[in-house]
Amino acid sequence: MPREPIIQLRDVWRTYPGPVPVPVLRGVDLTIAAGEFVAIVGPSGSGKSTLLNLLAGLDRPTKGEVWVAGTRIDVGSEDALTRWRGSRVGILFQFYHLIPVLRAVENVELPLLLRRLPPPDRRARAERALRLVGLAERAHHFPSELSGGQQQRVAIARAIVTDPVIVIADEPTGDLDAESGAAVLDLLARLAHEHGKTIVMVTHDPKARDRADRWVALEKGNVTASAPRPRIQVVS
């Protein structure tokens, strides 16, 4: 049964202003279904990160419409967009961007401060998210006391602790070794397939691309290809 679309981009353009305006996205149309794990691939400068920023509500298109979970996010005030981002989107960065002065569990708790939850409930939800990513025993470590892979898993816990409708990941394995990268990809796949999260991931890594349900290729600001994950055929 076809799944309901949760992300829709309609003729989205993004041009950076300047003496010579730079068009980065040129009329992108894209639909992503709820619970889908999608990889955005393409060469540097193709507009992948710009597309991700638009989906995360960190940037606005010059033209076009961006719809996420029934909300048009390219219009409205800055404050409204910030509130929307805090409640509906989980974001993962290549360099984790954990707050270095906060412990792992406090980092995970951060987005919950935006909700009126009693502190014990916040702590319980943060600990649950850490358990989900397999880092319950590292809850009270500072980021500097964790490996890169562990920091990225804490970042995943932080991204999902508010139960967002979509998780945006910008090169989440780009700074990790192969083993840690595989663990992070496993986790993202589980979030999509077992927990129904919609994952949109920008990556350069072919292995990461092949873990997604579908990949979308961008080139010079246009979607040039979209294909499901290649199936491995066992030849006997």
Partner 1 sequence: MTSPVPVRYAVRSLVRRRGTALLCVAVFAAEALMLLGCLGLLRGMRGFMRSAADPANLIVLERAVGMLEHSRVPAAAADALAALPGTVVSPELVFGDLATAPDGTTSVPVRGVGPAAEAVRRVRWLAGALPTHDREVALGDAVAKATGLDVGGTLAVDGTPYRVVGRFAASPLYEAEAWAALRGLQRDTGNEGLLSGLVVRGTTVDAALATLRADPRLAELDVRSEVDYFKSQAHQARLFALLALVFGATLGLGVLFGSANTMRLFVEARRAELATLRALGFARHALFAATLLQITLLGLAGAAVGAVGALGLAFVPVTQLTPGFRTVTIAVAVGPGEVAVVTLVTLSLASIAGLVPAVRASRVAVAEVLSHAT
Determine if 53 is a binding residue for partner 1 (CB under 8 A).
Answer: yes
Which of 85, 125, 209, 211 binds partner 1 (CB under 8 A)? It is 85
Determine if 83 is a binding residue for partner 1 (CB under 8 A).
Answer: yes
CB 219 within 8 A of CB 42: yes
C-alpha pair distances (Å), 168 with each of 40, 99, 126, 220: 11, 19, 19, 21
Determine if 42 is a binding residue for partner 1 (CB under 8 A).
Answer: no
Q: Compute how many other C-beta atoms are within 10 angstroms of the C-beta atom of residue 234.
A: 4
Given the rule CB under 8 A, which of 26-34, 48-56, 66-74, 204-212 is the region that contacts partner 1?
Answer: 48-56
Q: Which amino acid is at 126?
A: A
CB 226 within 8 A of CB 217: yes
Find tokens 């029934």 and name the residue: 70
Cβ proximity to partner 1: between 74 and 170 the closer is 170
Determine if 99 is a binding residue for partner 1 (CB under 8 A).
Answer: yes
Determine if 110 is a binding residue for partner 1 (CB under 8 A).
Answer: yes
Q: Dmax of the chain from CA atoms?
A: 61
- How does strand 71-72 pair with strand 63-68? antiparallel
Q: Compute how many other C-beta atoms are within 10 angstroms of the C-beta atom of residue 90.
A: 25
Determine if 56 is a binding residue for partner 1 (CB under 8 A).
Answer: yes
**Binding to partner 1 in span 167-206, by CB under 8 A:** 170, 175
Which of 8, 23, 33, 58 binds partner 1 (CB under 8 A)? It is 58
Query: Where do contacts with partner 1 occur on this chain (CB under 8 A)?
Result: 49, 53, 56, 58-59, 78-79, 82-83, 85-87, 91, 93, 95, 97-102, 106, 110-111, 113-115, 158, 170, 175
